[in-house]
Amino acid sequence: MIINEISIKGYKSFGNTEQTLKLNKEKGELILLAGSNGNGKSISPKTLINIDIPLESFNLKEFLNFLEIMGEENVYIKYIKENNKLLYEEYINSK
């Protein structure tokens, strides 16, 4: 679902004045939808979210915690092997 604009009327001190938030879908603007479970918030299963995680600067404890959260996938271990050889050796020796 693409939200072009959101209008709210009768919210707190705004009374009967309608407040409208217009979003530019070409530039890709971000909004936060908050609410309890079942209130209509959703995310498409095909949504891609890119997050820059500086794995190369992790210490062994941080890396093990990361793997516990993300799952021990070969892609992370391979990345550490290529970008932080000392951490990779610590990881292999910790097993």
6 versus 83: which is more confidently predicted?
Answer: 83
Kind and range of the H or E element at 6? Answer: strand 5-9
Highest mean pLDDT among 5-19, 26-40, 62-76: 62-76
Question: 39, exposed or middle or buried, with CB in 10 Å at 0-12, 13-18, 19+?
Answer: exposed
Strands (E), 23-92: none
Q: What is the pLDDT of residues 2-26, one digit of tens each?
A: 677 777 776 665 567 777 778 777 7
Domain range list for the chain = 1-33, 55-94
3-state secondary structure of 22: strand
Q: At what angle do helices 74-83 and 60-70 cross, to 10 degrees?
A: 160
What φ, ψ does residue 88 adopt, rounded to 5°? -60, -45
* Residue 9 φ then ψ, to 5°: -125, 140
Q: Is the pLDDT of residue 1 over 60?
A: no
Q: Per-residue pLDDT for 94 more than 80?
A: yes
**Residue 22's pLDDT is what?**
80
Global pTM value? 0.43
